[in-house]
Chains A and B, each alone.
Chain A
Amino acid sequence: MFNKLINDSASKSPWLYHINSGSCNGCDIELVACLTPRYDAERFGFKLAGTPRHADIVVVSGPVTSQSKERLIRTLAQVPEPKCVVSLGSCPKSGNVFKGSYSVEAPLDDYCHVDVSVAGCTPKPEAIMEGLYKAALILKEKREAMHK
């Protein structure tokens, strides 16, 4: 019973940690827009956490510049299990308009497992919310897999 309660809760209180790996700030603003009264992601339990140790979902935006790559990987390692990685916008997925630059190392899935990708430049808040919600469901699956 106790385990079931924990499993159920896993998808209902996903805390986000947002990493900007060289993004133009567009996606970042849209992510914050999700928390505003108009979209109100908090009704699903989403909350922005201040440190990776508290996070369930890590949202990565930006094309993974070479300066930020190492920091990104280190921070991702510090998130406790079960965790999800969501790539936000087209940049971490493909490099977008920065592709081919000497200082850009996209895509993100070269360095870690990405659970959900929300594409778009920038994605709409509705799309972001859907992506995050999917990530929350994946969290629950991961938690169940951890305690089989």
Chain B
Amino acid sequence: MIILRSLFYILIFPGALFTACFGLFLAGVDRKVVARMQHRIGPPLRQPMYDFFKLLGKETIIPHAANKIAFLGAPIIGFVSLALIMLFIPVGGLTAFSGNADMIVILYLITIPGVALIVGGSSSGSPYAGIGISREMVTMMAYELPFVLVLLAVARKAGGSELAFSMEQVANWQAANGNMLFQWSMIPAAIAMLLVVPAEVGTQPFDVAEAETEICEGPLIEYSGSALGMFKLNSAMKMFVMSGLFVSLFLGGIRTGFVVCDVIVFILLCIVVTILCMSTIHAVTARLKIEHLFKFYWTFVAGMALCSLILVWCGL
């Protein structure tokens, strides 16, 4: 029974299938909104789905310089870890698995898709990919500091005098005391987190690693067919996972009493967060340089998050 239930959680909801479908939908929303902001009609909402299926139908070329196992295995590892993260994030009050300190588990699981991208790109043997993975790794180091600070601030706020590294505890605290976002000491942290999300997903101003015009899509350069499709799916899923993480950290306290309604509210909030921090920034900015990106995250964004952490530690 417990195995069956875990199987359902992992494969269907809120694991692989739900995350994949909704992630693709969210990517469609993102593209549509960006198009509307630029006064275009834009692709249909199902466009990422078409892209994914088309890529499944294409030939997968493995260049002779590539290491076949790493080249094909990397996207799958990324996919699995993304499906797993969703199990730790409370989807509208429903957490598939919770343990103590699952925030750190999330923090680590969320680096795995990035690592998968790096290993895959690196194993393709292309020098463009070499530059791409270097940028991807620097980006990762850049956003990790503010991300960690935000998580610690939230944990401290939700825990009070004891430690609360658990997402469920954060959700319960918010259900009791109102949303984390409306605590004024947490506002800098929320802003920092809003800036961490696009870097983690790798959308427009922070997509230095996959810059298609300068380094030919970086780590993805040699990928084609279904392996590429998996990577595209991964980045769509990451969009959902990160916006979901933001929602459950800062807007997690909304309880209507019905699980279905809670889930719908969660989904709507995810869409809002995506539009706010990915589409809008995407539509109005140009790509950063890698050293500027690093500096931006370690000074401005980390500063905001640290500000929150200190306020929380002062008991505010």
Contacts and interface: CB of A to CB of B under 8 A. Distances in A.
Interface of A: 5-10, 12-13, 37, 40, 42-45, 48-51, 53-54, 56, 78, 80-82, 143, 147
Interface string B225-248: 100100000000000000000000
A20 to B, nearest CB: 14
Interface stretch (B32-40, B165-173, B198-206): B32-40
Which of the listed residues A50, A56, A80, A143 has the most CB atoms from chain B within 10 Å of its own CB? Answer: A50
A80 B59 contact: yes
Contacts of A54: 217, 220, 223-224, 228
Contacts of A80: 58-61, 224-225
Nearest to B31: A42
Given A37-B40, A42-B35, A13 B50 contact: yes
A134 to B, nearest CB: 17
A147 B59 CA distance: 12
B291 interface: no
Contacts of A5: 53
25 contacts: A8-B50, A9-B49, A9-B51, A10-B57, A12-B50, A13-B47, A13-B50, A40-B35, A40-B41, A40-B42, A42-B31, A42-B42, A43-B35, A43-B42, A49-B212, A49-B217, A50-B217, A51-B212, A51-B216, A51-B217, A53-B224, A54-B224, A80-B59, A80-B61, A143-B57
Nearest to B210: A50
Interface string B159-192: 0000000000000000000000000000000000
Interface residues of B, number: 35
Contacts, number: 90
B50 A9 contact: yes
A42 B40 contact: yes
Contact of A56 (B42, B54, B212): B54
- Interface of B, helix, strand, loop or mixed by DSSP: loop
B212 A6 contact: no
B221 interface: yes
Given A37-B39, A80-B60, A9 B53 contact: yes
Contacts of A7: 57
A50 B212 contact: yes
A134 B47 CA distance: 19
Contacts of A6: 53-54, 56-57
Contacts of B213: 50
A51 B223 CA distance: 9
Contacts of B60: 80
A12 B42 contact: no
B270 to A, nearest CB: 23
A5 B220 CA distance: 25
B37 to A, nearest CB: 10
B51 A13 contact: yes
Contact of A37 (B38, B44, B59, B222): B38
A48 to B, nearest CB: 7
Contact of B43 (A9, A45, A50): A45
A48 B39 CA distance: 19
Nearest to A53: B224
Closest 4 CB pairs of A and B: A50-B212, A6-B57, A9-B53, A80-B59
B54 A10 contact: yes
Contacts of B53: 5-6, 8-9
